[in-house]
Structures are given as structure tokens and as C-alpha cells.
Structure 1
Amino acid sequence: MKLTTIFIFCSVLLFNCEPPKKPEDIHQENWTKREMNRPLKDSLEHGKSYLSIYSQIYSITQHSTHNLTAVASLRNISDRDTIYLTKATYYDTHGNLLKTYFDKPIYLAPLETTEIIIDEINVEGGTGSNFLFEWKIPKNCPEPFFEGVMNSTMGKQGLSFTTQSIRIE
């Protein structure tokens, strides 16, 4: 009787569990739901911002690296105006384009935030990866704020730090 109960319990666990999600499926932003379907006004101010991101950092020596989860936080800090992000591109340490996340205008409502997440196992960016963000905002609107948050946890040890974007255009 006890063996039958154990078998049924194990069968329920085996057959009712969903397969584990792949890291790239955990948080995949649907950029098309944010796309602008009409042309942007000519009166909008244009800008471009640079954000450093680290998918790896050196640990102990130059020959040893530690992988990190990296989050690029894209924030509209205006409490009045919607802003538009027109392009987001991700580059590796050597300046090679790795991915274009979107190249059609998307919107962020007042005080809205969205993220781009680089999984800890994705180390193609290396120790000097970076983003370029192009954007358009109404006159007298605060510029968008882009922040990088990198972290990793191993056992009881944790590591985290942030970076902030700078306007380059």
C-alpha cells in the first residue's frame, strides 16, 4: 500500500510539472505591443544615450571572470509626458553589434519603466558591453533615464552595482 502511494505521488509530480523555462523565456519584452503606429511629431527633441553594461567582471586575476545578470532599466522620469524610444542596440566589448532590441519607435507613458535583461549565462557581451539608446521627447520634458543594474549571487555571497547613462548626442 505504501509503495503504491509513493508511485502515484511520483507520477503526479512527473506528469503535472511544466518543463523548466529556458532563461531567454523568463522575461522577454514584447516590443511590438509598445510600437507607435503613427509618425512622431517633428517638434520632438532627439537624443542618444550611452549605457555601459557588464555581463562579466574580472575576479582575482585578468584570467578569471565572474558572470553577471545585467538589467538595462529604461525609464520615463516625466510625470506629464509620454516619451519615445526609437532604437536600442547592444554591443560587445569590441564594439560589435550583438542585438537590436527595437528600431521602430516605442512609447513609455509618464513614470513608466521597462527593462532589457541579459541573463547570467549570456556572456557574449563580455566585460565591456554597452547599449546605445535613441529617443525623442517633447520640448521641456526631462530626458529618459537609463540605468544598468548588474548582480550575481553564489551561495551566501552577493555582488551588485549600477551604472548610469550619459547623453552623447
Structure 2
Amino acid sequence: MKQYFLFIVFIFSFVACEKQQQVSSIHPENWSKRTIDISHKDSLQVGASYLSIYSQIFSLSESKTHNLTAMVSLRNTSLNDTIYIEKADYYDTHGTLVRSYFEKTIFLAPLETAEIIIDEVDVSGGTGSNFIFEWKIPQNASVPLFEGIMNSTVGQQGLSFTTQAVRIK
């Protein structure tokens, strides 16, 4: 009976640990409804933006870190034009590609926002993670806005801050 009980506890612990490590925003179904073929649109302006993200920050010392949840906001600031995001690549502190969020171009309708969530348990990016976004917009359309909102709450304490992308191309 004791062995049976220990076996059940072991299995439950294993399943609970597996569930904690699940990363919510990397599943393809999050993006499949937004894909679009823009190969026939040849008059689009091309651009790229860099966004710093913090999945961890240092706390008390260089050897202690605090995990954060990060929400990456992809915003179409145009009142009239649909814009196209070709890549959303997530890099870690060392500049190594962690993951690409979609394989096909996605669209954002006028004033639409899409989000990428980096769960608090996902520390693969580290303290200096970042995104590179490649995008295309119609001539004279406003450029997309990419923002990062990082937060964490423990008990009655809360921490939150934002970052904003810079255009690099």
C-alpha cells in the first residue's frame, strides 16, 4: 500500500511540474487565424523594429533574479490601413534565437492589437532578452507600435514597467 501511495505521489508531482512549464503564447493556433499571403502586394514599405524585454531582472544582487511575466503588444496605429508583420523573433540575453512566433505573415487591421505573452516560468530569454519584428505597411501608413509590459506580483507587492521598440530599418 505504501509503495502504491508513493507511486501516486510521484506521478502527481511529475504531472504538476510538467504543467507549470507550459508556455502559453507559442502555440501555432494563436496565429493561424491571422495569416495572409501578401506576395501580390508589391508597393509596401519594409521596416524592422527592436524591442527589449525582461523575463528576469536582478534582485538584491547579481546572483539572484526575479522572474517576470512579459506581455508584448503589437499595435497597428493606423486608422485606415491594414499592416503586416512578417516576423516576431525572440532572442535571449546572448543574442541566440529562442523562438519565432509565426512562420507566415500575419495582418493587423486598423487600430488592432495582438499580444505575445511570455509566462513567468519561461526564463529562456534571461535578463536581456529582446524581439526583432519585421513588418510591411502601405505607403504613407503609420508605423506599427511594439511595446513590452513586464510585471510580477507576490503577496501585496507588485512590480511593473514598460519598454518601447525602436525602428532599426
Shift in CA distance, 44/165, structure 1 to aligned 2, threshold 3 Å: same
1:31-67 deviations in whole A, cap 9, x for unaligned? 1111113525111000000000000000111111100
Note if 1:53 corresponds to 2:53. yes
Shift in CA distance, 75/60, structure 1 to aligned 2, threshold 3 Å: same
Matched residue, 2:148: 148
Matched residue, 2:89: 89
Whichever residue aligns with residue 47 of structure 1, its letter is G
Structure 1, unpaired ranges of 5+ = 1-20
CA RMSD of aligned residues (A): 1.6
Shift in CA distance, 27/95, structure 1 to aligned 2, threshold 3 Å: closer
Matched residue, 1:65: 65
SS in 1 for 2:93: coil
Following TM superposition, by how much is the alpha carbon of 1:25 offset from its aligned partner in structure 2, in angstroms? 4.3
Following TM superposition, by how much is the alpha carbon of 1:87 offset from its aligned partner in structure 2, in angstroms? 0.7
Q: Report percent identity of matched pairs.
A: 64
What does 1:1-12 correspond to in 2, within 5 Å?
A: none
Does the 8 A contact of 2:98 with 2:125 survive in 1? yes
Larger radius of gyration: 1
Over 6 Å off, 4+ runs? none
TM-score (norm 1): 0.83
SS in 1 for 2:33: helix
Matched residue, 1:157: 157
SS in 2 for 1:104: coil
Does the 8 A contact of 1:88 with 1:103 survive in 2? no
**Quick one: distance in 2 between partners of 1:40 and 1:118?**
33
Matched residue, 1:132: 132
Note if 1:43 corresponds to 2:43. yes
SS in 1 for 2:124: coil
Matched residue, 2:123: 123
**Quick one: distance in 2 between partners of 1:24 and 1:59?**
24
Shift in CA distance, 95/25, structure 1 to aligned 2, threshold 3 Å: closer
Whichever residue aligns with residue 82 of structure 2, its letter is T
Following TM superposition, by how much is the alpha carbon of 1:103 offset from its aligned partner in structure 2, in angstroms? 3.2
